[in-house]
Amino acid sequence: MKSWSSKSTALMVGVSLLALTACEEPKVDAFVFESLDQCKSDPLASSDQCDSSFAEAQTQHATVAPKYASEADCQADFGAEKCEEAPYKTSSGGSVFMPLMMGYMMGSMMGGRGGMMSQPLYKSAKSPNSFRTAENKNVGSKTGGTKVARSATSRPTFKSSTRSRGGFGSSGSRFGSAAT
C-alpha cells in the first residue's frame, strides 16, 4: 500500500523547489469545514450546498482515503485513535485501515466556481492543525471561506486495495513470446 509518509516527503521537496523559483501556484476560492454543522452556521454557505457537499465528501472518503494494511502504520501518520477500518480486505483477507475524515472542502459560490467537486479532508499527526486532501495537499487551517492552491481542488484519485494479483500471465509462462 502507498505510504502517506513517503508521499509527504515527496511533496515537501516539491514545495521547496517552488519556493526557490518564487512561483506561486494560482489560488482559488473554496470553503473548508470540519463538520456539517459548522458549514450550516456559516452565513456565506447555503444549507443545501452544505448537505449535498458533505454527503459527496462522505461517499468519497472510503475510496480516496490513503489505505494501510496495519492500524499502527495508519496511526503513525494520522495519530492515535484517528484511524478506522476501511470497507476492504487485503488479498490475504486481512483488514485495511484509513484515517478518519476530519472535514471537507467544497467550492465557493462567491468565487463563481460552485461546480468544484467537494472532497474529504484529513489531518496528519505531524501537523494536526492543517487540513490535507486525500492527495496530501495542504489546504491550511482556516475554516469557512478560504483560498487554496488550485491543484488541491482536483478530484482525488481512488486509493485501491488490491485483493489479488497474478491472474494474468499464465499463458505467457506456458507459450513464451506473444510475438506474431
Partner 1 sequence: MQRIPVTERPNLADAAAEHELEYSDSKGITGWDESAYYQFTPQQIEEDIKGPAEELEDLCIQVVGRAVENEEVLSRLGIAEPFWDYIAQSWRSGEKNLYGRMDLSYNADGPAKLLEYNADTPTALYETAVFQWEWLEQATEQKLIPEGCDQLNDVHDSIVQAFPHMGIEDVAHFACNHDIEDDKGTLDYLEECAREAGIDTCSLAMADIGTDDQGRFTDLDEQPITALVKLYPWEWIMAEDFGRLVPASGVHFIEPPWKMILANKGLLPLLWGMFEGHPNLLPAFFEDDPAAATLAETGRYVHKPMLSRQGANIEIVDDGKTLLHTDGPYGDDAHILQGYHPLTEFDGGYPLIGCWMVASKAVGLCIREDKTLITGKEARFVPHVIQD
Rule CB under 8 A: is residue 169 a binding residue for partner 1?
Answer: yes
Q: Would you say 109 and 49 are in contact if contact means Cβ atoms under 8 Å apart?
A: yes
Report the nearest approach of partner 1 to the CB of residue 91 (Å). 8
Q: Which three cell numbers stand for residue 154?
A: 482536483
Rule CB under 8 A: is residue 93 a binding residue for partner 1?
Answer: no
In the complex with partner 1, the residue whose CB is nearer, 129 or 177, is 177
In the complex with partner 1, the residue whose CB is nearer, 41 or 157, is 157
Rule CB under 8 A: is residue 88 a binding residue for partner 1?
Answer: yes
Distance CA 143, CA 131 (A): 9
**What secondary structure letter does DSSP report for 175?**
H
In the complex with partner 1, the residue whose CB is nearer, 4 or 54, is 4
Rule CB under 8 A: is residue 126 a binding residue for partner 1?
Answer: no
Contacts 24+ apart (CB under 8 A), 125-131: 125/75, 125/76, 125/77, 125/78, 125/79, 125/82, 126/8, 128/79, 131/32, 131/34, 131/102, 131/103, 131/105
In the complex with partner 1, the residue whose CB is nearer, 16 or 180, is 180
The greatest distance separating any two alpha carbons of the chain, rounded to the nearest whole angstrom, comes to: 67
Q: C-alpha dihedral over 133, 138, 142, 145, to 10 degrees? A: -60
Rule CB under 8 A: choose which of 26, 93, 115, 176 binds partner 1: 176
Rule CB under 8 A: is residue 92 a binding residue for partner 1?
Answer: no
x/- mask, partner 1, residues 42-81, rule CB under 8 A, reads -------------------------x--------------
Rule CB under 8 A: choose which of 59, 91, 127, 151 binds partner 1: 91
Task: Give the footprint of partner 1 on this chain (CB under 8 A).
Answer: 1-2, 67, 87-89, 91, 157-180
